[in-house]
Amino acid sequence: MTIAVAVNAPAPTQAPVLDGLPLTVGLAGREVLLVGAGPVSARRAATFLEAGALVRVVAPRVDPAMADLAERAGGDLVVVARPFTPADLDSPWMVHVATGDPRVDAEVAALCEQRRIWCVTAGDSALGSARVPARTAVATPAGTVRIAVDSGDPRRSVRVGRHVARSLATAPAGLRARRRPATGWVALVGGSGDGDLLTVRARRLIHTADVLVVDGAADAALVAELDDDVEVLEAAADLPAARVAEMVATRYAAGHGVVRIAASATLADRARELEAGGVEFEVVPGVV
């Protein structure tokens, strides 16, 4: 899952935000050309390699960071130590330019435009047809949520992305995945279900879950934060513990994410019941 954030009110001294559509591009197995081999290009080359791209670098001088990355990447990163030529554009799907020479950057960007190749120009983003956003991520049991931010100012974009990630960690509404895997997950959370006494980890799990199981009545404020289709099960005092464990196991086997909230003093007992039912789970201690 990816959240794309465009901040559309840059300060007058910042590069304008590109008008266009935020887009996730599949680069696995596709060639990306980097013109320039300085520190900026080395960082961006690492990003493209993470996306599975085949990276080719053309530059008369190669920064040690790029040379080290090429040695570690093997055949997925090829560095050619010479100036750029138009023939370098015969095969890439995307081009990244960071030569430090505005004339060369502008020339490459213009040629990419003629050949309909997406081009990122690090020195002057207005020259290019694409821009790589600042990226961060929030891990959840249902998968990683990736956050991409473009504000026209790289440092500002990084700050905004970190703020969004922190906000999702503390108020993680909307993190549930609608497509379920073959097997679900279970978290055993210690506490009473009082939303004010839950840890950040517990809140994130609850807002990712499909099923919430609580001992006694659930905190109304906590339930109000959940999606309407989240199943809330109250394990009443007269309901056998084995029956509760069976309900959890059934939903786990169906691919649901389940959070079982239980009093901290009973966590060991609840854990043994889940183990007896063949359920894999993690334990999140409550606030002491």
Q: Where do the domains of the chain lie, and which CATH numbers do they carry? A: 31-132 (3.40.50.720), 136-170 (no CATH), 185-284 (3.40.1010.10)
- Supply the pLDDT for residue 9: 39
Per-residue pLDDT tens over the stretch 76-135: 999 999 999 999 999 999 999 999 999 999 999 999 999 999 999 998 888 999 988 888
* CA 95 – CA 125 distance, rounded (Å): 13
- Supply the pLDDT for residue 14: 42
| Burial group, residue 233, by CB count within 10 angstroms (0-12, 13-18, 19+) | middle
* CA 131 – CA 123 distance, rounded (Å): 11
| Burial group, residue 46, by CB count within 10 angstroms (0-12, 13-18, 19+) | middle
DSSP bridge partners of 34: 57, 96
90 token code pair: 């015969």
Residue whose entry in the numeric block shows the structure tokens 């554009």: 89
- Supply the pLDDT for residue 174: 59
Query: Which helix (H) or strand (E) covers residue 102, if one does?
Result: helix 102-115
- Supply the pLDDT for residue 10: 42
- Supply the pLDDT for residue 152: 74
Amino acid type, 68: D
Residue whose entry in the numeric block shows the structure tokens 């599949």: 26
**109 and 127 in contact (C-beta within 8 Å)?**
yes
* CA 160 – CA 167 distance, rounded (Å): 10
- What are the phi and psi torsion angles at 179 (to 5°)? -95, 120
Evaluate if pTM is beyond 0.75: no
Q: Which residues of the chain have pLDDT under 50?
A: 1-2, 7-17
86 token code pair: 């138009």
Residue whose entry in the numeric block shows the structure tokens 């559309």: 8
**256 and 184 in contact (C-beta within 8 Å)?**
yes
Length of the chain: 288
